[in-house]
Amino acid sequence: MLLLEHQARTILRDTDVVVPFGVVVDEQTDVPVLPCVLKVQVPVGGRGKAGGIRVVNEEKEYRDALEELTELDIKGHKPSAIYAEELVDIGRELYLSIVINREESTIELVAHPEGGVEIEAHKPEEFMRAELTPKSLEAVGQAAADWLEIPEQAFVLTDMVERLYGVFVKSDATLLEINPLALTREGKLVVADCKLELDDMARYRHEEWPDEQTPADVNYVPLDSDGTIGTIANGAGLAMATVDAVRAHGYTPANFLDIGGAATTESVAASLQKISSLPNIEAIVINIFGGIVRCDIVAQAIIEASRQVDNPPRLVVRLSGTNAEEARKLLSEHDMPLHDSLAEALEAL
């Protein structure tokens, strides 16, 4: 799950890393202290280039920019909020991130002396990469200060890296990216933007996480508005085959839905909610192949999600693959039979 910038900042603010002050604003809220930076909150990067970041100096300019930003579409995303932030007097823009190196099974610090909106233009070898462990923190902090060409900030940076590493581990993050890490004209290091991606598999131990709104990798297409049968499948091919099979059995499919790589409670709940709100739905066929995802985890997600949705229609579930037997047991405890094949499931409609 990718947090919106302002959600990520709330988490960082608890760490004493210097994060500019900011508030979520709309037409109703008070005008923030000006000048400020207005930033659209969308679950994708590249807002600066797409016109989603605006520095405003006075009230008229603020109101106009607020209206324009609300209308903006960034790579297919309408802003979920507009965030107003204290203007940072940026002298230099640096790049700093903490990532998981999946090949080495390590946590790494990545740094580049020229951060900002053109970061993709740099060559891979220009980035410093170093493994972060509690023991390596100090040495890596020192080395990063040199790499970023701020040797005079070595202590401050080391302290920051230590705190960010702590947040990364504690939050079960998969990515924490600060771009830009601003060096102000006064010589202070400030987190001028941050991106925090959390590991969905760890959601069960983080009650504090915000609900996921529309999971990014759910691909939903409404079909016939007279359709009575909703469909949920994993993978575009299986989702299309499911729609076809429903029609071949003499029913009208109401939608196409590919739930993406991981069928989590959030993505299943969001999908059920969406389909349940269609006018003529009588049942939903869930057709999931457990290759990488485990059927028992999917079954658990289906059970949880159906509790979260008001009056869900009848669910007809076909799961096959890894841990299908465990899934069968779980579902049968909730009066949902597990069907081994799609044909069998459709017979049960």
Binding region for ligand GDP (CB under 6 A): 37, 39, 45-48, 53, 87-88, 90, 93, 116-117, 179-180, 192-193
Task: Select the binding partner of residue 46 from ligand GDP, Mn ion, none (C-beta < 5 to 8 A, by kind).
Answer: ligand GDP
| 304 assigned to active site | no
| 177 assigned to active site | yes
Tell me the window of 142-150, 188-196, 257-265, 339-347 that interacts with Mn ion (CB under 5 A): 188-196
Phi-psi region of 116 (alpha: psi -120 to 50; beta: other; left: phi over 0): left
Q: How far is the CB of 49 from ligand GDP (least distance, A)?
A: 6
CB 6 within 8 A of CB 24: yes
Q: How far is the CB of 93 from ligand GDP (least distance, A)?
A: 5
Q: Which residue is nearest to ligand GDP (CB)?
A: 48
Tell me the window of 34-42, 190-198, 211-219, 251-259 that interacts with Mn ion (CB under 5 A): 190-198
Q: How far is the CB of 88 from ligand GDP (least distance, A)?
A: 4
Q: State in Å, rounded, how far the first CA of the chain is from the last one.
A: 34
* Contact pattern for Mn ion over residues 192 through 221, marking x by CB under 5 A: -x----------------------------
Phi, psi of 341 (to 5 degrees): -130, 160
Smaller CB separation from Mn ion, 72 or 223: 72
Q: How many CB atoms lie within 10 A of CB 243?
A: 23
Length of the chain, please? 349
Q: Which residue is nearest to Mn ion (CB)?
A: 193
Q: How far is the CB of 209 from ligand GDP (least distance, A)?
A: 22
Cα distance between residue 62 and residue 73, in whole Å: 19
Task: Select the binding partner of residue 231 from ligand GDP, Mn ion, none (C-beta < 5 to 8 A, by kind).
Answer: none
Q: Which residues pair with 130 in a beta bridge?
A: 109
Q: Which is the catalytic residue, given 5, 177, 197, 212? A: 177
Instruction: Give the residue from 315, 336, 346 showing the smallest Cα distance to 328.
Output: 336
Binds Mn ion (CB under 5 A): choice among 97, 153, 179, 242: 179
Task: Select the binding partner of residue 87 from ligand GDP, Mn ion, none (C-beta < 5 to 8 A, by kind).
Answer: ligand GDP
3-state helix, strand, coil in the chain (%, to 5): 35, 30, 40
Task: Select the binding partner of residue 130 from ligand GDP, Mn ion, none (C-beta < 5 to 8 A, by kind).
Answer: none
**In the chain, beta strands by DSSP E:** 22-25, 36-41, 53-56, 81-86, 90-101, 106-112, 128-131, 173-184, 189-191, 195-198, 219-222, 229-233, 255-258, 283-290, 314-321, 338-339
Q: Which is the catalytic residue, given 93, 95, 165, 266? A: 95
Question: Position 180: which residue type?
Answer: P
Binding site for Mn ion (CB under 5 A): 179, 193
Residues noted as catalytic: 95, 177
